[in-house]
Amino acid sequence: MTGIYRQSPAQDPPDRELLINFSALDPVFDPSPQDGSISVSSSGKIAVSSFYGIFTFDQDGSNRTYIIESTLDYHHYSAAWSPEGDQLAVLELQWDSGAVQSLAVVLYAPDGTNADTLVTMPATGNQMWLGDKSYSLCWSPDGSQIAFTRPDGQDVGSHIYTIKTDRTGLTQITSAAGVTDRSISWGE
C-alpha cells in the first residue's frame, strides 16, 4: 500500500500508524515515478513530490492541494520545508530530449506562490535511472543554507553543493569522479 506512515524508529514498531493511504484518496494519488520525497513542516503540513509536481496535505490526508506543477520540460524534485515551515525549497530540473540541461534551487511560499530562485546552474545527465533520491535537497538546521545534489555528467552521477539563502556562498562539497551522491540530510 502506498501511503504515509508514522512510527517509532524501530523494527516492527507497535505504534505504526497509516496517516494517508494514497490509494484511498479520491481521486487516487500516486507520487511515483518521481522521487516521491516527503517533507513535514513544523506545523504538520506534508509536502509530497510526484511526477506531476508538488502537493501538500494535512496530516490526515485532507486538504490535498496541487501547489507546483511539473511539465514535460521542467520537473520538480525533493520538496523540503524550512525549519520554520514558512518556505518550501524545491529542485527544478530542466529537461530536453531526455537529458538534464539545468538545475535551479527555488524557494516557494507554503501555497506554491512567490517563486524565488536562489541559483540556476547548467547540469548534465541523461534519463538513465541512477537510483532513488539522485536529486536531493535539504535545509541546514538554522535555515540559513540549502544543500543539494547536481547532476554532473552523462552516467557520472551527482555531487553535493551548498548555497546560503541570501544567494551567496555557492560551494561544491563533493567531487569524486563516477560517484552519485544522493539522499542528503543535514544534522546539527
Q: Is 12 among the domain residues?
A: no
Give 59-112 pLDDT, tens digit per residue: 877 888 889 988 878 888 889 999 999 999 999 988 777 777 888 999 999 999
Q: Is 188 among the domain residues?
A: no
Residue 47, domain CATH: 2.130.10.10
The conformation of residue 23, written as its DSSP 8-state character, comes to G
Q: Is 44 among the domain residues?
A: yes
Q: Is 92 among the domain residues?
A: yes
Q: Is 21 among the domain residues?
A: no
Query: Which domain, by its residues, includes 136?
Result: 3-7+29-172
| Count of structural domains, the chain | 1
Q: Is 126 among the domain residues?
A: yes
**b/e map of 5-36 (b: 16 or more CB within 10 Å)?**
eeeeeeeeeeeeeeebebeeeeeebebeebbb
Global pTM value: 0.83
Q: What percent of the chain has pLDDT over 70?
A: 86
Q: Does residue 140 carry a pLDDT above 80? A: yes
